[in-house]
Structure 1
Amino acid sequence: MPRPPLPIGTHGKIRVYQSGSMWRALTKFRDFDGVTRSVERVGKTKAAAQRQLKQALTERTATVAEVVAPSTRFREVAEQWFRSVQAAAAQGTRSPTTVDVYRSQLDRHVLPALGELRIQEVTVPRVDSFLSALRSQSGTSTAKTSRTVVSGVLGLAVRHGAIPNNPVRETARIEEGHKSAPRALTAAERTRFLDQLESDETASGRDIPDLVRFMLATGVRIGEALAVCWPEVDCEAGLVSVNFTVVRVKGKGLVRKSTKSSSGERTLPLPSWAVEMLRRRESKRGDREEPVFPDSLGGLRDPSNTRRDLRKARGTEEFTWVTSHVFRKTAATILDEAGLSARVVADQLGHSRPSLTQDVYLGRKAVTEDAATALETVFDSESE
């Protein structure tokens, strides 16, 4: 019975012979193309010949390092997969923040638990046990993100033929548990909340009242609101273009990047009270190209810092539950109560699926004027 071939990218036993005044070290190496070839190096001593051969084998192995075999360590495959995520971000098909999140999950959770296992050892029971323990220790959200990372790594292994299927698919679902119903500000609460913000000198000095008005008028995310610059605002037509969001990228700082999807790129009509607010701000602006809601130096504003300013301004009693996303849900609820279809509301929010809007936000492109008309009632306490 013939001897089985060497695995791709591996070598056989190293043999060393003396040849005259020199020493020869040689072995067999199976290359990426499946052909087994002899590799030989010489040295003045036996040890020198072995060192030269091992160095040559290391260099040769590097040429097939991207090959994933059943015996490849999970850590090596993970790094290969992560490089593909980085490449996708460089091409604009992945968000830079996704790169940072995946790197964090790999370093903090996934690699410490699975990194030294061989790919063939990363079985359904092992992955299931890891995710279950992670959920108990760090919460559902962290477990779900780590599940996505592990699935991506093992998916790469499947494509290389190292394993027949992705074990993550057979693990138990990570359930969210009971979710409270979406909560939106009522008309009376909206008025009281804005009054509270206006009376707070720090909040007013940091543009929080106008920012909240803008988010209520449009239903945009806080990063999208902070990314809007004056060239994207047309007060004469009463329109604002929402094409970007502000994110912080490691090593680069704050940047404007395209919205989550093509559905996120939209032109929104504005209610008249929002146009008046923007006209007032426009008359005081500095650089025509600067953001509508800039930082103290006229540049991009950090969404995280802005959320912190909002938390401080909302007080500790009636409005402790209010976050920046509540304004988005409030706008969606107003549109729903006005009888607009789920499709129209989804287009206003930049969702590709109306079901997401209905499931999460209710308690494309150019959007119908009915949306702006409905949002005229944001501060109308008699509309309840």
Structure 2
Amino acid sequence: MSMTKRLEPGEHSEPEATPYRIDPADADGKRKIKADSVRQATAWRARCQYRAMDGKRYDLVRWAKTKRQALDALSDALADRKHAAVDGSLKPSTPFVTAGRVWLSEQQRPGPKPKAENTLTAYRGAFERYVDTEGSPLRGLTIAQANDVQRLLVLLQGIADRHGSGAAKMARTVLSGTLDMCVKRRVLQGNAARQTGAVRASEKRADKRDHRKSFTPEERGRVIETADALAGAYGADPRTARKWAMVADLLAFLAGTGVRIGEARALRWEHVNLTTGAVEIHGTKTTSSLRGLNTPEWLRERLERRAKLTGGVGYVFPSPALLDGAESPVDLSNLQDWVRVVLDKAGLEWATSHSFRRTVATMLHSSGVPLVRIADQLGHANPTMTANVYLGRDLRGDKADLAALL
């Protein structure tokens, strides 16, 4: 290799790898000398010259136990040099967790299709549980090191076996999104997470939640009564009373409209007409998420009472931490935990906040409301989503009513 080849800024000479061995004359056993043959090699030196954008030439050297490892280390060093000139944030040697944080911040930026708050929360949760946490096999790795199919497969399979296939799927989404960002920034040439495929748990985990069921009228009323009872039980503690009163009113709103919990959380008083009961829902899932709804009279009266108690400004369901916190949205994770408490106390461990949404769809369908109108109520761009997910088919149930028509 000619080390005097003319190099343009950003170019490097052809890398060379040379075998070395420990000098037997060195008492400390640290000095290395060139090996006479590959068989004698105990270490390899990879070397090349790189010309920086300022015109200076640098001699880059990397050592490793094998030739392949030495050349890979030199390749990473060259990539770092090149990215340092054009991208001050990410390089192949950047810690992978740093890249993950950059990707998460990008997901929060507004755009033509912004991510829903629930989705962002799920991304952050997966990143903090499986990547940026003590004991994570990726936490101490660079971007280049983490971009390894076998390493990612071992991680994802472990997540699937311990936490379920759904958790592994979410973790893979975060990993693949982070690596895709690195590919787009030319930090990496490929995304190893795309090659892992879907990872399944070795044994199916039992799920206490039933995402196919909807509430009966008695169960729906019991949930709201349970929440109201919790609010009344903490009258001596204003902050706790505000919390449970807010949760009770929010659950009533879910029951009376079928909106997503994130949409209810974002509702502001300027979007509510207390005279007519009309509300404007600002969703984030699709363009159909931005929609107008009408509340039933019992819910309109409940909102009217809430407006009188809270002042009727800012968020309808704000954070209960501060008495004057009308402009502070309630934390979604805390809200989900409080809803879980209410549902469990009501004896409905199988239910989730989404059960209200399915219940509204079921009630409207049972009343003969056209599918398109139900989709409008729920904010679905495609009525097929409403039919397939929220109006589950009963293939094995009784069909005597159909037989009577034949």
TM class by shorter chain equals 0.5 to 0.7
For residues 391 and 169 of structure 2, the distance between their equivalents in structure 1, rounded to whole angstroms, comes to 24
Q: Does 1:297 align with 2:323?
A: yes
Return 5+ residue gaps in structure 2 as ranges.
17-47, 60-79, 236-240, 393-406
Structure 1 segment 31-46 matched on structure 2, within 5 A: 31=52, 37-38=56-57
Identity value in percent = 29
Q: CA deviation at 1:297?
A: 1.2
Amino acid in structure 2 at the alignment position of 1:122: N
**Structure 1 partner of 2:85:** 63
TM-score (norm 2): 0.61
Pick one of 192, 202, 214 that aligns with 2:233.
202
CA offset digits 1:260-306 (Å, max 9, x no partner):
44332221122222223223333x23433133334261434344444
Distance 1:292 1:118, change over 3 A: closer
State the secondary structure of the residue aligned to 2:292. strand
Return 5+ residue gaps in structure 1 as ranges.
14-26, 41-57, 245-258, 364-384
Amino acid in structure 2 at the alignment position of 1:202: A
TM-score (norm 1): 0.64
Q: Does 1:168 align with 2:193?
A: yes
**Structure 2 partner of 1:333:** 362
State the secondary structure of the residue aligned to 1:169. helix
Contact between 2:211 and 2:351, CA under 8 Å: does it hold in 1? Answer: no
Amino acid in structure 2 at the alignment position of 1:287: G
Distance 1:230 1:109, change over 3 A: same
Amino acid in structure 1 at the alignment position of 2:173: T
Distance 1:263 1:109, change over 3 A: farther
Distance 1:219 1:63, change over 3 A: same
Contact between 2:260 and 2:354, CA under 8 Å: does it hold in 1? Answer: yes
Contact between 1:329 and 1:361, CA under 8 Å: does it hold in 2? Answer: yes
Q: Does 1:126 align with 2:155?
A: no
Structure 1 segment 261-300 matched on structure 2, within 5 A: 261-282=286-307, 284-294=308-318, 295=320, 297-299=323-325, 300=329
State the secondary structure of the residue aligned to 2:362. helix
For residues 191 and 95 of structure 1, the distance between their equivalents in structure 2, rounded to whole angstroms, comes to 29
Quote the RMSD (CA, aligned, Å).
4.3
More divergent stretch after superposition (82-91 vs 260-269): 82-91
Amino acid in structure 1 at the alignment position of 2:57: S
Q: CA deviation at 1:65?
A: 5.2
Q: Does 1:184 align with 2:211?
A: no
CA offset digits 1:131-152 (Å, max 9, x no partner):
1122223433332222112212
For residues 316 and 87 of structure 2, the distance between their equivalents in structure 1, rounded to whole angstroms, comes to 49
Amino acid in structure 2 at the alignment position of 1:89: Q
Pick one of 280, 284, 292 that aligns with 1:241.
280
**Structure 1 partner of 2:68:** none
Distance 1:106 1:326, change over 3 A: same
More divergent stretch after superposition (83-92 vs 135-144): 83-92
For residues 153 and 171 of structure 1, the distance between their equivalents in structure 2, rounded to whole angstroms, comes to 15
CA offset digits 1:213-246 (Å, max 9, x no partner):
21111112233223322211113333101226xx
Distance 1:154 1:6, change over 3 A: farther
Contact between 1:66 and 1:80, CA under 8 Å: does it hold in 2? Answer: no
Give the number of the structure with larger relative contact order, counting CA–CA contacts within 8 Å between residues 6 or more apart.
1
Distance 1:91 1:274, change over 3 A: closer
**Structure 1 partner of 2:260:** 221
Q: Does 1:30 align with 2:51?
A: yes
